[in-house]
Structure 1
Amino acid sequence: MTNFVALLRGINVGGSNVISMAALKECFTEAGFADVRTYIQSGNVVFASDSTSSAELEVEIERMLRERLGADILAVVRSRDEFAATVAAAPSDHGSAELLSDVLFLKRPLTATEALMQLPELTPQVDSVSAGPDALYFSRTVVDSARSRVDRLRANRLSKRMTVRNWRTTLRLRDLLEQER
Structure 2
Amino acid sequence: MAFRLGRHQSAWSSPECAVRNLTLPERRSLSTSHGIWSLVDLVVVNRGEAVELGCREDPLAAARALREMGAGSAALTLGAQGAAFVTADGDVRFEAPAAAAVDTVGAGDVFCGALIAARASGRAWSGSFRIAVEAAAIAVTRRGVLASFPTCAEMARLFSRWAQEEPRT
TM-score range for the pair, normalised by the shorter chain length: 0.3 to 0.5
Q: Which structure carries more helix by proportion?
A: 2
TM-score norm. by structure 1 comes to 0.32
- TM-score, normalised on structure 2? 0.34
In proportion to residue count, which structure has more strand? Answer: 1
- Per chain length, whose mean CA-contact separation is higher, i.e. which structure has more relative contact order (CA < 8 Å, sep 6+)? 1
